[in-house]
A and B are shown apart, each in its own frame.
With several copies, the nearest count.
Chain A
Amino acid sequence: MDRNDRKYKRILIGKRIARELNDGDWCNLGIGLPTEVANHIPEGTSVFFQTENGMMGVGPAPAEGQEDKDLINAGGGFITALPGACYFDSCISFGIIRGGHLDMTVLGGLQVDERGNLANWMIPGKMVPGMGGAMDLVTGAKKVVVAMEHCDKKGNSKLLKSCTLPLTAKEKVNLIVTDMAVIEIRDNKMYLLEIAEGLTVEEVVKATEPELVIPKEIIYFGI
């Protein structure tokens, strides 16, 4: 598959993030790109997915004709319940999220900056979808991973020195996984951990606005 293909990028990012999950982890996946993560959980690893509208133990989408109108995920898509699932109300659901009980949350991003600020919920004068549960998830989860393309459609870095869009949460992002690199945010710095197969460090650095701390040994990730 072509490295510029959207599907390739989606799998590349989803698969890499799946490796961040440990056996027994409890995790929330945002709408869109982050849902890809669920397709790549390593065999032998049990991970339990929450949907913030009120359920733990999200299973795959139902077969056509098997949809239950009362069983959806936070994106409105039909889902199934795995054995061991449970339902709860929104108050308990956000208690789980805000109380720090989730091991990890994966969200999409419009911008992330080197202090770990995330912007992903509005573009002033344009799109006002609302933050939904995103602000709670980014504030509350033990580990916050952003899944996004490295650059926007115009080729500009979505990794910035300082976010220009309204923030979703302040200094909360731990890890960014893009189609080009895996980057950790620590002490207001971006640490390059891995780069996508087929790329050079120079290409990643060029596509990234803030300074990257480059590791001695380069690790590659692929699909």
Chain B
Amino acid sequence: MPKIIDAKTAAAMIKPNDRVMFGSFLAVGCAETIVDEMVKLGTKDLHLICIASDYDDKGVGKLLSNKQIKSAQVSHLGTNKAIQEQYNNGEIEVEMVPQGTLMERIRAKGAGLGGVLTPTGLGTIVEEGKEILTIDGKEFLLEKPIGAEWAVIKAEKADKMGNLVYSKTARNANPVMATAAEKVIVEVNEIVEIGEINPEDVITPGIFIDYIVKV
């Protein structure tokens, strides 16, 4: 059963050099309260795993503006000046991962796979340094799992067992990231009693959740 903690406590558990994945898509579906506490605390040298780097003043972008990220695996950083600058200055190491490949790599970690074979990225710079396998006459890139010490995700509602439901497009990468980290912290707008979420509606089963933070 997950522990219910506050955002400050959550932020303090994350240490320098930890890999942290955030479910967020242009700051929608982002655990903003926890991000704010992380910014206040200022823990540095984090490795960021996220779909996009969001905005300079919104979502995970705040951690970039505050120079807390030393490296990142993202699919998009066009909406964030801080990371573009730090990237151009060599202050941050960035691996650009196609969004679908990023999702598959995270899912692979969560589902115990050693990797997946994907056509995305073939013939592009994404294939650099990667093994290419030919399966039944077609070429595929071998993409390896991506895991993390922490997943910091956002959901609409949790019951006390950690079963989660989301809101609209704020769902995005949150469910898959919940499967792929050693510890998972979810920020929710509402905590309800066990049994108050219809078992058919649960998107993320409670087994994946370690900590719940209520906004």
Contacts and interface: CB of A to CB of B under 8 A. Distances in A.
Classify A-B as touching or not with yes or no (CB < 8 A): yes
A98 interface: yes
B163 interface: yes
A216 interface: no
Contacts of A92: 205
B202 interface: yes
A90 interface: yes
Contacts of B207: 26, 48, 50, 56, 96, 101-102
B122 interface: yes
Contacts of A74: 25
B5 interface: no
A185 to B, nearest CB: 15
Contacts of B170: 70
A102 B207 CA distance: 8
Contacts of B160: 84
A208 interface: no
A36 to B, nearest CB: 20
A131 interface: yes
Given A86-B205, A132-B99, A99 B52 contact: no
Interface in A48-70: 48, 50-57, 68-70
Interface in A156-177: 166-171
B88 to A, nearest CB: 8
Nearest to B77: A130
Interface string B98-131: 1111011001011111000011111111100000
B112 A167 contact: no
Contacts of A178: none
Contacts of B9: none
B215 interface: no
A136 B99 CA distance: 7
Interface string B193-215: 01101011011011110000000
Contacts of A130: 52, 74-78, 96
Contacts of B163: 84, 86
A214 B129 CA distance: 42
Interface string B157-183: 001110100111111111110011000
Nearest to A127: B78
Given A97-B100, A101-B179, A132-B76, A90 B121 contact: no
B79 A87 contact: no
Contacts of B98: 131-136
A95 B111 CA distance: 4
Q: What 10 A-B pairs come out closest when comparing CB atoms?
A: A129-B78, A170-B123, A94-B100, A83-B195, A136-B100, A98-B112, A86-B202, A95-B111, A130-B76, A84-B194
21 contacts: A53-B26, A55-B199, A70-B29, A70-B168, A72-B26, A72-B169, A81-B168, A83-B195, A84-B160, A85-B199, A87-B200, A89-B171, A89-B203, A98-B100, A99-B112, A130-B77, A131-B99, A136-B98, A140-B112, A167-B123, A170-B122
